[in-house]
Each structure stands twice: as structure tokens, then as C-alpha cells.
């Protein structure tokens, strides 16, 4: 395949931020290894179980930096999500034959955990 | 200045991960804007107050991705630190005249907060 890693990474990025996760998964290798803040995820199903819920709460995505070469790419973006506005993230992706075989993702879980706690408290108060 | 943004970003990275923060600061603009997980920092002094303490607890840094063009660069790296092993981070840097004028940094604060709580509990238990 002649597409560069950056092209594959961008195609994946535009698909999931465009809320088309079926399309996003066409760029994911069956045996993808994803290294996320909460730990390692093995395989496309585990990866989808992690990223698709995030794509559902996405309100806005802005790509701030996107670079790469034939085999790897780095994306840096900002997002607004339903629970957390202004949640930046970055990915370091390795691509083989047009599919992402490794994806390291980094973001700050602190505001998401704070939003979850606030939501849990609000639910308790409603009872 | 003819140096690319990536060269400046890498020179900064190698200086701070090499524990030479005086050298690292030669690549930082006086009016740098740093967008970090805890919020915005304005100016070189505030930036140094944030990053230099982190450089002191650094045990290992490994650059996983580094790309850029004339004006901006993205770095993705893994680190081991005294309180937290395996703490990846990413930076999106804007460079003007050989100095970094904007630096967005993303990392997960959760393991650092957990280490701080464990340390505080250990200190209390010792009393």
C-alpha cells in the first residue's frame, strides 16, 4: 500500500471525529495494540470498546498538529466533550499496510473523573 | 533564523531530559504561553516553575515520535519518573526565531495524584 502513515492516521481521525466509527474501524488492524492511560488494550474489539464511547460524547475536535512519515504519525488535537470542555489528546500511531497496528494515546483523565464524580453526586442528590 | 521548529523542539527536549534546564531555557521565549493540564502559564518564569520540577524527578525519557515543519512540531515521548513509572506525554510546540513561543503539553495527571496521595498517607502513618 502506498499511502503514508499520516494519511491513514488522518483518515482514521476524520472518521471518528466525524462520528462514523464503522468507517474509522476500516483503518484499524485486527491485532491492534492500544496503549491508553488506563492500560493496554489488545485487538480491534477492545479498541472499539474504548474509543467508540468517547466518539459519542465528542462535541468538537480541532487538529492542532499532524505529522508523520511512511510508518508512523503523531496527532495532537483539542476536543470539547459533553462532560469536559477543552480536553486535549495526542496519539502516536504505527501503520502497516494501511492499517493502524499500534496506537498510543495520552490525555488527562483528571477532568473526566471529576465530571463522573459530580454526576454521581447529582444522581444521589436526586433520590 | 534558519533552524526548523523541529530542531528547536528537539534541542529543548534533549536539554531538559538531560537535566540541563538552564540550557533548555535558551530555547524558551520570554513571553511563552504554556497550556498544561492544570491550566495556562504565561511567561518563561512560570513555565520554568512548572517544567523544571518535573525534569528533576525524571529517571528515563524515550522519544517515540518527533515531527514538525518550519513553524511547529509535535513530540510524543514516554518517561519513567520517581513517583510514576511509564508516564507518557506529548507536546505541540510553536517556534518563532528559534524560540518556543507556545507549548501545549498533555499527560495523564491521575497516576501523579495517586502517588501524591500515597505519599501523604505514608507520611501520616509515620507520625
What confidence tens digit (pLDDT) does each residue in A101-116 have? 999 999 999 999 999 9
Q: How far apart are CA A96 and CA B28, in angstroms?
A: 37
Test A92 with B76 for CB contact under 8 angstroms: yes
**Are A92 and B90 an interchain contact pair (Cβ–Cβ within 8 Å)?**
yes
CB A35 within 8 A of CB A105: yes
Mean pLDDT (whole number) for A7-21: 98
What's the whole-number mean pLDDT along residues A68-83?
A: 97
Distance CA B65, CA B67 (A): 7
Comparison of pLDDT for A86 and A124, the residue scoring more: A86
User: Over 70: is that where the pLDDT of A60 sits?
Assistant: yes
Confidence band of B127 (pLDDT split at 50, 70, 90): low
For B94, nearest residue in chain A (alpha carbons): A65
d(CA B122, CA B127): 9
Q: What is the chain B residue with the closest CA to A39? A: B86
* Helix runs in A1-127, H state only: 5-17, 21-25, 44-56, 110-126
Residue A1: pLDDT band with limits 50, 70, 90: very low
Chain B residue at shortest CA distance from A114: B110
Give the pLDDT band of residue A126 (cuts 50, 70, 90). Answer: confident
Q: pLDDT value at position A127?
A: 66
Mean pLDDT of A62-66: 97
**Rg, chain A, Cα only:** 15
pLDDT for res A124: 84
- Indicate if the pLDDT at residue B1 is higher than 80: no
CA–chain centroid gap for A13, Å, is 8
Mutate to test the interface with A, among B75, B92, B93 (most CBs of A within 10 A): B92
Q: How many residues does chain A have?
A: 127
Q: Do A67 and B64 touch (CB under 8 A)?
A: no
pLDDT tens digits along B15-68: 999 999 999 999 999 999 999 999 999 999 999 999 999 999 999 999 999 999
CA B23 to the chain's CA centroid? 14
DSSP summary character for residue B98: T
Instruction: Please judge whether A108 and B106 are an interchain contact, meaning their C-beta atoms are less than 8 angstroms apart.
Output: yes
Burial of B111 (0-12, 13-18, 19+ CB in 10 A): middle
Nearest CB among A74, A104, A108 relative to B37 is that of A108
Q: pLDDT tens-digit profile of B67-114?
A: 999 999 999 999 999 999 999 999 999 999 999 999 999 999 999 999
As given in the structure block, the three cell numbers for residue B26 are 535558551
Q: Return the C-alpha cell found at A30.
A: 485486527
Who wins on pLDDT, A125 or A103? Answer: A103
Backbone angles phi and psi of A74, in degrees to 5 = -130, 130
CA A5: distance to chain centroid?
Answer: 16
Query: Does residue A3 surpass a pLDDT of 70?
Result: no
User: pTM score, two decimals?
Assistant: 0.94
Amino acid at each position: 500500500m502506498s499511502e503514508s502513515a499520516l494519511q491513514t492516521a488522518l483518515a482514521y481521525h476524520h472518521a471518528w471525529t466525524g462520528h462514523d466509527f464503522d468507517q474509522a474501524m476500516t483503518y484499524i488492524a485486527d491485532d491492534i495494540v492500544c496503549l491508553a492511560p488506563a492500560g493496554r488494550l489488545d485487538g480491534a474489539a477492545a479498541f472499539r470498546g474504548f474509543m467508540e464511547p468517547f466518539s459519542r460524547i465528542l462535541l468538537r475536535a480541532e487538529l492542532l498538529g499532524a505529522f508523520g512519515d511512511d510508518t508512523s504519525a503523531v496527532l495532537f488535537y483539542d476536543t470539547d466533550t459533553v462532560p469536559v470542555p477543552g480536553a486535549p489528546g495526542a496519539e502516536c500511531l504505527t501503520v502497516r499496510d494501511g492499517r493502524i497496528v499500534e496506537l498510543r494515546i495520552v490525555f488527562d483523565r483528571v477532568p473526566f473523573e471529576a465530571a463522573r464524580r459530580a454526576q454521581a453526586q447529582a444522581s444521589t442528590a436526586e433520590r
